[in-house]
Amino acid sequence: MKLGDLSVGYLYSLHAALQSLGHDAQALFTRYRVSRDLLAAPQARISIPRFMRLGHAAIQLSGRADIGLLMGLHSQPAHLGLPGVTAQCAPSLGQAFDTLVRFERLTSQNYRGHSSFQPPATRFYSISPYNQFNLFVVDSALASRMQLARQLTGGAARLREVHIEFPAPPHAERYEEVFGCPVLFEQAHNQLLWEPASLALPLLQSAPTTHAQLLALCEQQLHELTRHRHLRERVEEILSPQLHRQLPDLAEVAAQLGLPPWTLRRRLKAEANTRFQDIIDEIRRDLAVSYIRDTETALGEIAFLLGFSSPAAFQRAFKRWTGEAPGQYRRQARQPRHIS
């Protein structure tokens, strides 16, 4: 299990933002093994850690800490793949947001969660703890949704407020310039709060029959994507976002899956020859390796995210899993051959 992956379509806006600043975006992309062929390949995806490293490298290259906001301003509905094109044809802005959330898994998969639409809020899930590698992710996600609404409504959509979880960064003044409304930091959620009337606005390219056809195609692709998922993967998806909280027990997970507890236990044994507790342990191990290898997250923060009682307990577990202390493992992973 990994942190997740996403469509290469999410890189199109980063490429455009760098080009607009006069930088050779493709040269940077090539350093991170993102070729033109990969960018053009149907359903191609990259890992979330590689996306974060590429974004951080773009900030270093451009000197622009607000690169995520610039990405949002360069985003297009088609960058979001089939869900984006489908949303473009929706009857109203609210239905467009509903479409994007409903089919988000066609373009991204993240163990931390998925976006939601709870009118009047479009919400982007938490990716705390925040650091220099992931602030731009929230910036780009929120700004791209704002830009999408402007494009689909001819600029008529209006925001009431923007809420952001992390503290105000050095480029805080840029947020209100981009969003055109009050922006509040250190909030409970990352979300755009819309004027309710904006969600009822008809879209410039609304085409109800085409929207219905594309919805059917999205449903088909989502069915194909999910029907091959094993029961273990579905259990992991429920457990992973809860690691730093009180984990649900087997009975609670079974209820979410619509199964009796004994059936879940039996099917895990038959399908993967595994136990429920084994899944929890292996999620922690795999995520620990991803955090150490692919991010700059501090050891104490990783211990918290994975539900360990202390950093020392986490370090003992990591050494048991890998044979190396976390710091040593991270230093080795920073060698150039590990860039991917």
Q: Which of 195, 223, 251 is where one domain is finished? A: 223
Token digits for 159? 């925001």
| Mean pLDDT to the nearest integer, 292-297 | 76
Are 239 and 180 part of one and the same domain?
A: no
pLDDT digits (tens, 9 = 90+) for 297-337: 788 888 888 888 888 999 999 999 999 999 888 888 766 54
Q: Is 16 contained in some domain? A: no
Check if the beta carbon of residue 3 is closer than 8 Å to that of residue 290: yes
Are 275 and 138 part of one and the same domain?
A: no
Strand arrangement, sheet containing 45-47:
45-47, 4-7, 108-110
Q: How many CB atoms lie within 10 A of CB 203?
A: 23
Are 104 and 209 part of one and the same domain?
A: yes
Task: Report the range out of 48-62, 195-209, 218-232, 319-333 with the highest average pLDDT.
Answer: 195-209
Q: Is 248 contained in some domain? A: yes
Are 235 and 207 part of one and the same domain?
A: no
pLDDT of residue 49: 80
Q: For the domain that residue 296 is a member of, what is the CATH number? A: 1.10.10.60
Confidence of residue 189 (pLDDT cuts 50, 70, 90): very high
Q: Which of 157, 188, 223 is where one domain is finished? A: 223
Q: What percent of the chain has pLDDT over 90?
A: 62
Pairing between β-strand 45-47 and β-strand 121-124 as defined by DSSP bridges = unpaired
Are 177 and 208 part of one and the same domain?
A: yes
Are 294 and 246 part of one and the same domain?
A: yes
| Mean pLDDT to the nearest integer, 252-273 | 88
Are 82 and 182 part of one and the same domain?
A: yes
Q: Is 150 contained in some domain? A: yes
Number of domains in the chain: 2
pLDDT of residue 340: 39
Q: Is 58 contained in some domain? A: no
Q: Which of 223, 239, 257 is where one domain is finished? A: 223
Domain range for 281: 231-338
pLDDT digits (tens, 9 = 90+) for 83-137: 999 999 999 999 999 999 999 989 988 766 789 999 999 999 877 777 777 899 9
Are 140 and 239 part of one and the same domain?
A: no
Check if the beta carbon of residue 145 is closer than 8 Å to that of residue 120: no
Are 182 and 74 part of one and the same domain?
A: yes
Are 237 and 334 part of one and the same domain?
A: yes
pLDDT digits (tens, 9 = 90+) for 268-279: 888 878 899 888
Q: How many CA atoms lie within 13 A of 280 on its CB side?
A: 16
Q: Is 63 contained in some domain? A: no
Q: What percent of the chain has pLDDT over 70?
A: 95
Are 219 and 299 part of one and the same domain?
A: no
